[in-house]
Amino acid sequence: MKLSEYLLTSPYYLFWKVKKLFDSSNPVIDFYIGEMMDYFIMEPVIRKFPQSRIVAKNAHIKKELESLGVAAISWPSFPDVVIMARHAMHEFPIDNVIKIGMAHGVYQFKKFIKAKKYNVFQRFFMTSQEHKLMAEKIGVKCGVAIGCPKLDQAFNGEIDDTYLEELRKSLHLDPAKPTVMFSATWDKSGMSAVHLWHERIEELSDTYNVMVTLHPFMSKRYRDSIRGKKSIVYIDSYNTVPYLMLSDVLVSDTSSIIGEYCAFNKPIVSFKVDTGARLTEDIKELISSISISVQSFDEAKIAIEESLNNDTLGEAREAANKKFFYALDGRAADRAAEEILKVLQENNLHTGTSLVQV
353 lies in some domain = no
Same domain, 81 and 192: no
128 lies in some domain = yes
Same domain, 137 and 187: no
Same domain, 140 and 12: yes
Is pLDDT above 80 for 148?
yes
115 lies in some domain = yes
The full DSSP string for 226-285 is HHT-TTSEE---S--HHHHHH-SEEEESS-THHHHHHTTT--EEEE-----TT--HHHHH
Burial state string for 238-267 with b = 16 or more CB within 10 A and e = fewer than 16: bebbbbbbbbbbbbbbbbbbbbbbbbbbbb
**pLDDT cut 70: percent of the chain above it:** 95
Q: Are 274 and 100 in contact (CB under 8 A)?
A: no
Same domain, 334 and 319: no
The structure's pTM equals 0.92
Which domain range does residue 178 map to? 161-324
Is pLDDT above 60 for 268?
yes
Q: Are 270 and 258 in contact (CB under 8 A)?
A: yes
pLDDT digit string, tens, across residues 102-120: 998 898 888 888 999 999 9
134 lies in some domain = yes
Q: What is the pLDDT of residue 355?
A: 63
What is the pLDDT averaged over residues 56-74?
A: 97
**pLDDT cut 90: percent of the chain above it:** 80
Same domain, 131 and 186: no
Domain with residue 203: its CATH number is: 3.40.50.2000
Mean residue pLDDT across the chain: 93
Q: What is the pLDDT of residue 20?
A: 83
Structural domain count of the chain: 2
What is the pLDDT averaged over residues 43-62?
A: 97
What is the pLDDT averaged over residues 25-31?
A: 89
268 lies in some domain = yes
Same domain, 46 and 118: yes
111 lies in some domain = yes
Same domain, 83 and 217: no
Which tops the pLDDT comparison, 308 or 353? Answer: 308
Same domain, 309 and 166: yes
Is pLDDT above 90 for 209?
yes
